[in-house]
Amino acid sequence: MAPRFNQPLGGNDMPRFGGPVTMMRLPAQDSAEGLDAAFVGIPMDIGTSNRPGTRLGPRQIRDESRMLRPYNMATGAAPFEHLHVADIGDVPINTFDLKKSVQIIEDHYRAILRHGAVPLTLGGDHTLTWPILRAMRDRHGPVALIHVDAHADINDAMFGETVAHGCPFRRAWEDGCLLNDRVIQIGLRGTGYGPDDFDWSRERGWRVVQAEECWHRSLSPLMEEVRAMIGDAPVYLSFDIDSLDPAFAPGTGTVEPGGLSIWQGLEIVRGCAGLRLVGADLVEVSPPYDPSGNTALVGANLLYEMLCALPGVP
Ligand code: MN
Ligand code: MN
């Protein structure tokens, strides 16, 4: 009997180093029509402030996703038994114009959301989350936010510019995209200009969990608190790969030591199961700084875990 939904191309049908370079070797399609969830790439690094290269992130994540199998041995999730999923390709940003690019992204996500699909985004620098959240607001109203990152990304401006990868959550807040009593930022750390770098978030009513509070601990109890805080509100998950310690994920542009472990990252994403996730992204993978491919591979696995945590996957 033919499966009801799209399935990843299996390793017994085509060697894993062959076949299509789509996310999890899923079928590709041009739009989100008919889908429950869609993997979509945003090949962009023109919002970065330090090392570039995230424009190559989506295709490297797709390549490193080739070994992912459909069943989650840890959680028992079998997402392709319950959701119709495809890779809908990349957003055609204008790589010569960041401000035009954020408008292109916003319009593209409005179209995805009109189809009722949950977008799972392969980044791309973190600027992209702002236009996605604007599209989310217009579809769902203000959303709860789980933001995993070494950085707060709430700068008012960088080099005098208000659109940059260190500004998306400031812009989203200004635009009324967020439920301020249901925002949490996890993994923040490193050097700053002063306490306001993180306190601005706290003054908005957001919960800030700095990396040091996470050291040597399971984050499953924290995620229990997060689920209680968010309840049944629509929630967006934004996962910057630089939240992980550079020992695990060195292939990124703005590296800070003392970060989260892979297993803590998994606890966060798996801990989102039961929430009303309306979208998620995995950003800031920079292949030129990722010679082993390991950072992209970790990113691909986290995107699969996001799929496993979506509503509709028991
Ligand atoms: Mn970030
Ligand atoms: Mn970051």
- Assign residue 223 the CATH number of its domain: 3.40.800.10
How many domains are there within the chain?
A: 1
The residue type of 25 is R
- Domain range for 207 is 37-42+54-66+105-308
Q: How far apart are CA 34 and CA 108, in angstroms?
A: 16
- Count of Cβ atoms closer than 10 Å to residue 194 Cβ: 7
Ligand 1 centroid – CA 286 distance (Å): 13
Ligand 1 centroid – CA 254 distance (Å): 9
> What is the mean predicted confidence (pLDDT) over 65-73?
98
- Asked, for residue 154, whether it belongs to a domain, the answer is yes
Residue 1 clears pLDDT 60, i.e. is over it: no
The rounded percent of the chain whose pLDDT value lies above 70 is 99
- Asked, for residue 85, whether it belongs to a domain, the answer is no
- Asked, for residue 100, whether it belongs to a domain, the answer is no
- pTM of the model as a whole: 0.98
**What does each C-alpha distance from 127 to 77, 78, 197, 227 come to in angstroms?**
31, 32, 18, 26
Taking Cα atoms as reference points, which of 192, 200, 123 lies closest to residue 169? 200
Ligand 2 centroid – CA 312 distance (Å): 30
Neighbours of ion ligand 1 (CB under 5 A): 126, 149, 153, 240
- Asked, for residue 125, whether it belongs to a domain, the answer is yes
**Edge-to-edge order in the sheet of strand 207-210:** 85-90, 37-42, 118-123, 276-283, 234-240, 143-148, 178-188, 207-210
For the CA of 168, the nearest ligand: 1
Q: Which helix (H) or strand (E) holds 63?
A: helix 57-64
The residue type of 197 is D
3-class state of residue 143 by DSSP: strand
Ligand 2 centroid – CA 137 distance (Å): 23
Ligand 1 centroid – CA 166 distance (Å): 6
Ligand 2 centroid – CA 242 distance (Å): 5
Ligand 1 centroid – CA 293 distance (Å): 20
Q: How far apart are CA 21 and CA 43, in angstroms?
A: 15
- Asked, for residue 238, whether it belongs to a domain, the answer is yes
> What is the mean predicted confidence (pLDDT) over 115-136?
98
- Asked, for residue 30, whether it belongs to a domain, the answer is no
Confidence of residue 297 (pLDDT cuts 50, 70, 90): very high
Q: What is the structure's pLDDT at 2? A: 60
- Asked, for residue 87, whether it belongs to a domain, the answer is no
Ligand 2 centroid – CA 175 distance (Å): 21
Ligand 1 centroid – CA 14 distance (Å): 36
Ligand 2 centroid – CA 247 distance (Å): 15
Confidence of residue 192 (pLDDT cuts 50, 70, 90): very high
Ligand 2 centroid – CA 13 distance (Å): 38
Q: What is the structure's pLDDT at 112? A: 98
- Count of Cβ atoms closer than 10 Å to residue 54 Cβ: 33
For the CA of 150, the nearest ligand: 2
Taking Cα atoms as reference points, which of 221, 12, 48, 246 lies closest to residue 128? 48
- Asked, for residue 114, whether it belongs to a domain, the answer is yes
Residue 54 clears pLDDT 60, i.e. is over it: yes
The rounded percent of the chain whose pLDDT value lies above 90 is 99
For the CA of 169, the nearest ligand: 1
The mean predicted confidence, pLDDT, of the chain is 97
Confidence of residue 4 (pLDDT cuts 50, 70, 90): confident
> What is the mean predicted confidence (pLDDT) over 256-283?
98
Q: What is the pLDDT of residues 72-111, one digit of tens each?
A: 999 999 999 999 999 999 999 999 999 999 999 999 999 9
